[in-house]
Structure 1
């Protein structure tokens, strides 16, 4: 007997994710950022603020994104003057990433927009902390 789609956690998660992504995309549009651009800009900004400027692999690892796609998106962020690539003094084959002043301002503004969108999206949940507790082990797997 086939499972009703509304009783399938994966099917429901798929629909929730699509709805959430549409909300995030709409919220970021006025800032001229795609969702992936936001994630990589915010990740680079966060890594810059918490230590040495990362390389492309470090950003991709932290963000959980494909390295090749990360490279393409980082080039777009560089073209928008939101990040800079600098040659690593210890290894000239490696480029270190730094968020520009404009990029840092936009990253922080976009983070606030995304956090507000998340708060509105998840506000109907009786205990958003319980959702985080359920999602963390799934994300780490």
Structure 2
């Protein structure tokens, strides 16, 4: 942080906010037997159920931004807890589809309510969740999330990989 910058970098602040949010969600959903990572899966399944989708583990990994192997591990734990069902996709026997059980649907509904209340509190300093400033903030976060973060290749690396 000492490269002439008068304060913390945006990257540091994003990291701090992400950690603050993760810890707060962990605490909010712990009484329901969930972790933040598990919540991200079941809440996504909850929303997708409303549209009639039954995603594969790979689709859910892409949707949540979590690694596929981690989603598989979380899904097995959630299945053991009676929250989700994992079944083979009839169209692709290698793919595993996920679906909330009735118990999972009920618990997830309560977890979503708890996290929505937490989100309201998080956004209070910006004026609340439904104000222009919050919508702008959300739009800017979306822009950052949509931007690729591929490591740039230096001219030296380009020259080394170029055919002679």
TM-score past 0.5 threshold: yes
Moved more, 27-36 or 86-95: 86-95
- The number of equivalent residue pairs is 141
Match of 2:136 in 1: 130
Q: TM-score, normalised by structure 2?
A: 0.78
Moved more, 19-28 or 78-87: 19-28
Unaligned runs of 5+ in 2: 128-132, 148-164
Query: 1:1-141 alignment to 2 at 5 Å?
Result: 2-4=3-5, 6-126=7-127, 127-141=133-147
Q: CA RMSD in A?
A: 1.7
Q: Secondary structure at the match of 1:81?
A: coil
Moved more, 53-62 or 83-92: 83-92
Q: Does structure 2 retain, via aligned residues, the 8 Å contact 1:6–1:12?
A: no
* Larger RCO (alpha carbons 8 Å, 6+ apart): 1
Q: Secondary structure at the match of 1:85?
A: strand
How far 1:62 sits from its partner (Å)?
0.9
Question: CA separation of 1:130/1:91 partners in 2, compared to 1, >3 Å: closer, same or farther?
Answer: closer
Question: CA separation of 1:80/1:132 partners in 2, compared to 1, >3 Å: closer, same or farther?
Answer: same
Moved over 4 A (4+): none
Question: CA separation of 1:94/1:10 partners in 2, compared to 1, >3 Å: closer, same or farther?
Answer: closer
CA distance in 2 between counterparts of 1:129 and 1:46 reads 21
Question: CA separation of 1:90/1:133 partners in 2, compared to 1, >3 Å: closer, same or farther?
Answer: closer
Question: CA separation of 1:89/1:17 partners in 2, compared to 1, >3 Å: closer, same or farther?
Answer: closer
Unaligned runs of 5+ in 1: none
